[in-house]
Structure 1
Amino acid sequence: MKRQGGFTLIELVVVIVILGILAVTAAPRFLDLQGDGRKAALHGLKGAINGASGIVFGKAALEGKEQLPSTALGDDSKGTRIAFGYPAAEEDGMTRALMLDTDDEWSVAYGKASQVRGVENGTPQVVYTLKALEPVLTGTSKVAGSYFEQIKTTHCYVEYSQAHRISREIIEPMVTVYHAGC
């Protein structure tokens, strides 16, 4: 007699149960790919900001403008705006230096830090977040302080604090990534 080959019903059930257990234990690792992608994009932007700051500071030093509190690079007013040699926290400053796509990829808002040691009016800041988070934002003006604060409430943004002076010391700009809400 010929013996037929194949799987028994019990063997098939055991394999399906094992595959189910593997899927349940492995699935949570791959569910947050979108959040991981957002975090990576923010850290990439931080690297770009640091690189742009270094390049702009080098240009400012070559032009002898690294000690000036507010000016533009180049001979005309259309150059990148700087503060103490680093890009200013404004559209003609850091955003211009980065050449970011603020129409399709990034949302940007400008404001001032509420409390910075030694600075009375607050340090100018710019915050960047991904356009994918924009439906959460309800501000009508992207330059208004309320939009600036709304971006901060997403807890998924990059913050650039402009260089400033305390007494005689120039404080370099700070770049901070907030990704708890990504």
Structure 2
Amino acid sequence: MNDSQKGFTLVELVIVIIVIGVLSAVLLPKFIDINANAGTVKVKAVASAISSSASLQFAASQLPSGGSYSAADACAGAYLDADTAASMGGTSASMKSGTGLPVNCSSTASGTASVSCVVTCAGASETVTLPVALKS
């Protein structure tokens, strides 16, 4: 007869549970911090996209053929195109109607000589300065 039993001893199981507990205690704060960083990265991406699109629109309106440029519209995301929105992870369903901003983002313009645009996404905010035409 074979009296040997197969399985793990209580000591082995306790060691595995302790190792899992230590790993979760060390790694859990890092995973929680990743969520906060994601909001910061998103707001920086949206602010950068607004700044870039505003600069392009401003440069286009300075051409001899003319054009129109509104810093307030730029801050609202009016100059963001579908490709830019898609690069920020947006889809037509997740974008605000009439703007290129993601649904959970907002923006506020202030100033006249130098327009500041404050972009807010998921609790994080970023301020960018937009170009304005200097009247001569």
* 1:126 equivalent among 88, 112, 117: 117
Q: 2:69 maps to what in 1?
A: 80
Q: 1:97 maps to what in 2?
A: 79
Q: Distance in 2 between matches of 1:38 and 1:129?
A: 9
Give the number of equivalent residue pairs: 115
> CA-to-partner distance for each residue in 1:69-122, whole Å, 9 max, x for gaps?
xxxx2xxxxx432xxxxxx2x1x34322233347x322222323xxxxxxxx86
Unaligned runs of 5+ in 1: 66-72, 74-78, 82-87, 113-120, 134-155, 169-182
Could you tell me whether the CA contact under 8 Å between 1:123 and 1:162 is conserved in 2?
Answer: yes
1:128-167 residue pairs with structure 2 within 5 A?
A: 128-130=119-121, 132-133=122-123, 156-163=124-131
Q: 1:10 to 1:122 in 2, by over 3 A?
A: same
Q: Where is the strand percentage greater, Structure 1 or Structure 2?
A: 1
Q: Helix, strand or coil: the match of 2:48?
A: helix
Q: 1:49 to 1:19 in 2, by over 3 A?
A: same
Cα-Cα RMSD: 2.8
Q: Distance in 2 between matches of 1:111 and 1:122?
A: 10
Q: 1:43 to 1:162 in 2, by over 3 A?
A: closer
Q: Helix, strand or coil: the match of 1:97?
A: coil
- RCO comparison, higher one (Cα < 8 Å, 6+): 2
Q: 1:106 to 1:52 in 2, by over 3 A?
A: same
Q: Distance in 2 between matches of 1:26 and 1:162?
A: 40
> CA-to-partner distance for each residue in 1:8-49, whole Å, 9 max, x for gaps?
111111111111111111111101232111112112113312
Q: Helix, strand or coil: the match of 1:129?
A: strand
Q: 1:122 to 1:80 in 2, by over 3 A?
A: closer
Q: 1:21 maps to what in 2?
A: 22
Could you tell me whether the CA contact under 8 Å between 2:53 and 2:79 is conserved in 1?
Answer: yes
**TM score, norm. by length of structure 2:** 0.66
Deviation at 1:165, TM superposition (A): 8.2
Q: Where is the helix percentage greater, Structure 1 or Structure 2?
A: 2
Could you tell me whether the CA contact under 8 Å between 1:80 and 1:97 is conserved in 2?
Answer: no
**TM score, norm. by length of structure 1:** 0.52
Q: 1:53 maps to what in 2?
A: 54
Q: 1:55 to 1:165 in 2, by over 3 A?
A: closer
